[in-house]
């Protein structure tokens, strides 16, 4: 079947390539036929003039001889050209239809691997490389054969959530919890899946999972935020306001969730101002902030951009400053500089890999700020 398909494709290509040659030959034939017809018409016209007495016998013989000579010359040239064109076209057609395909076949047999079979799915799954879809397929195949492998479900569940396969993510988290027990990470992942699947509503199952996670490992700002959000959605504004204020109070300087918490705190009637804290190393001092307040918007923007560039330069010299990378990514995002935000994220992840807790915080910050982290965390 393979060689039949190759032969058909070769024939189709040959037809396409030889068609212009055949078309040009038709144009040449038409031209030469028209020239011969003109001379024949001249002979007929000469005969009519001779019969009507418009030209003498001697003059008619001379004219007839000249026209006949030209007619013979045109006919001979036409025949010779036809033969030459036919020969040339035949040679070109032979090259196109025979020599080129044979040359290609010989090169393929010499340099290619015609006997090598296609790589089956099994082999591709064994070496998925950086192909996320193949890695997921490999994990799914393993779990289809070993459905009680809790570690496999534990690995696959966050991937499903990240790729927004929410139904699969819920199943994977529930299987991981059933087989390996509850822990804050699995419970929080299940809750986030349920919240995402319900358009941001903290449903009862999600709230129960969050409460259990909070009891097991209290103080996680993500869990506290979702619990406060549940109170807000339930109309318990006073309790929600207290919960959001508590998160804001306990948050470290520059925490990525602070703007979101401030917004919800304001929605519930609280004071959205962040608690006053000392400026972190490399950040603006109180004097800088006072000076900035007196500047024009353009000057203030230039000052901020200069401070961000200065922070960027310091981090290149001392990349171990995790808070500095968090602040740099956030600053570039606020300045609407997507390229530099991605570059800062990539540089930060070189020092704090995505597999570590600090690397995960950097990725979470990028997601919250809308910075495209695809390809950066590889």
The mean pLDDT of 235-264, rounded to a whole number, is: 87
pLDDT of residue 357: 83
The mean pLDDT of 124-130, rounded to a whole number, is: 52
The region of weakest confidence among 188-197, 305-314, 329-338, 353-362 is 305-314
Look at residue 293 and tell me whether its pLDDT is greater than 60.
no
pLDDT of residue 238: 92
Higher pLDDT, 238 or 47: 238
Q: Which of 267, 294, 324 is the last residue of a domain?
A: 267
Look at residue 302 and tell me whether its pLDDT is greater than 80.
no
pLDDT tier at 80, thresholds 50, 70, 90: low
- Domain containing 245 equals 130-267
Higher pLDDT, 135 or 188: 188
The mean pLDDT of 287-294, rounded to a whole number, is: 46
pLDDT tier at 286, thresholds 50, 70, 90: very low
Tell whether 118 is covered by a domain.
Answer: no
pLDDT of residue 230: 92
Same domain? For 79 and 163 the reply is: no
Tell whether 345 is covered by a domain.
Answer: yes
Number of domains in the chain: 3
Same domain? For 253 and 296 the reply is: no
pLDDT tier at 63, thresholds 50, 70, 90: confident
Q: Which of 79, 111, 143 is the last residue of a domain?
A: 111
pLDDT of residue 261: 87
Are the C-beta atoms of residues 248 and 268 closer than 8 Å to each other?
no
Mean model confidence pLDDT for the chain:
76
Tell whether 18 is covered by a domain.
Answer: yes
Same domain? For 245 and 205 the reply is: yes
Angle, alpha carbons 157-160-163 (nearest 5°): 150
Angle, alpha carbons 301-304-305 (nearest 5°): 85
Same domain? For 346 and 246 the reply is: no
Q: What's the rounded Cα separation, in Å, for the pair 39 and 44?
A: 9
Tell whether 154 is covered by a domain.
Answer: yes
CATH at 340: 1.25.40
Same domain? For 41 and 106 the reply is: yes
Tell whether 205 is covered by a domain.
Answer: yes
CATH at 216: 1.25.40.10
Same domain? For 330 and 225 the reply is: no
Look at residue 292 and tell me whether its pLDDT is greater than 80.
no
Angle, alpha carbons 349-252-284 (nearest 5°): 85
Same domain? For 363 and 290 the reply is: yes
Tell whether 160 is covered by a domain.
Answer: yes
Who's near 46: CB < 8 A, 6+ residues apart? Answer: 55, 60, 63, 64, 67
Q: Which of 267, 296, 318 is the last residue of a domain?
A: 267
Taking alpha carbons only, the member of 196, 191, 195, 197 closest to residue 211 is: 191
Same domain? For 170 and 88 the reply is: no
Same domain? For 95 and 175 the reply is: no
pLDDT of residue 139: 82
Q: What's the rounded Cα separation, in Å, for the pair 107 and 113?
A: 11
Phi, psi of 47 (to 5 degrees): -65, -40
Same domain? For 90 and 150 the reply is: no
Same domain? For 55 and 98 the reply is: yes
The region of weakest confidence among 13-17, 310-314, 327-331 is 13-17
Tell whether 376 is covered by a domain.
Answer: no
Tell whether 73 is covered by a domain.
Answer: yes
Neighbours of 129 (CB within 10 A): 8
Neighbours of 230 (CB within 10 A): 23
Phi, psi of 209 (to 5 degrees): -65, -40
Same domain? For 291 and 258 the reply is: no
Q: Per-residue pLDDT tens for 217-234?
A: 888 888 999 999 999 998
């Amino acid at each position: 079947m393979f060689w039949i398909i190759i032969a058909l494709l070769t024939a189709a290509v040959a037809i396409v390539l030889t068609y212009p040659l055949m078309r040009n030959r038709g144009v040449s034939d038409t031209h030469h036929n028209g020239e011969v017809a003109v001379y024949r018409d001249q002979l007929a016209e000469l005969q009519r003039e001779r019969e009507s007495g418009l030209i003498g016998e001697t003059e008619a013989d001379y004219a007839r001889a000249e026209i006949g000579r030209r007619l013979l010359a045109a006919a001979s040239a036409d025949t010779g050209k036809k033969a030459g064109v036919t020969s040339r076209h035949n040679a070109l057609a032979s090259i196109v239809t025979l020599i080129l395909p044979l040359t290609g076949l010989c090169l393929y047999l010499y340099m290619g691997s015609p006997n090598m079979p296609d790589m089956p799915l099994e082999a591709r799954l064994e070496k998925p490389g950086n192909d996320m879809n193949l890695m997921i397929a490999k994990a799914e195949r393993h779990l289809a054969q070993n459905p009680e492998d809790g570690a496999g479900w534990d690995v696959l569940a966050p991937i499903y959530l990240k790729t927004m396969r929410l139904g699969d993510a819920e199943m994977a988290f529930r299987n991981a919890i059933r087989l390996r027990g509850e822990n804050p990470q699995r419970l929080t992942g299940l809750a986030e899946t349920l919240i995402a699947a319900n358009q941001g509503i903290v449903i009862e199952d999600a709230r129960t999972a969050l409460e259990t996670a909070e009891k097991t490992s209290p103080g996680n700002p993500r869990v506290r935020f979702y619990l406060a959000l549940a109170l807000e959605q339930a109309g318990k504004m006073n309790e929600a306001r207290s919960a959001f204020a508590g998160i804001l109070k306990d948050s470290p300087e520059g925490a990525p969730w602070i703007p979101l918490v401030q917004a919800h705190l304001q929605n519930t009637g609280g004071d959205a101002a962040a608690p006053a804290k000392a400026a972190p190393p490399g950040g603006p001092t109180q004097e800088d902030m006072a000076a900035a307040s007196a500047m024009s918007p353009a000057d203030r923007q230039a000052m901020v951009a200069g401070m961000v560039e200065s922070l960027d330069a310091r981090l290149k010299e001392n990349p171990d400053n995790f808070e500095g990378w968090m602040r740099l990514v956030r600053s570039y995002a606020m300045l609407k500089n997507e390229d530099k935000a991605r570059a800062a994220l990539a540089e930060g992840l070189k020092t704090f890999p995505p597999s570590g807790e600090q690397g995960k915080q950097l990725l979470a910050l990028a997601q919250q700020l809308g910075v495209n982290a695809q390809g950066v965390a590889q």
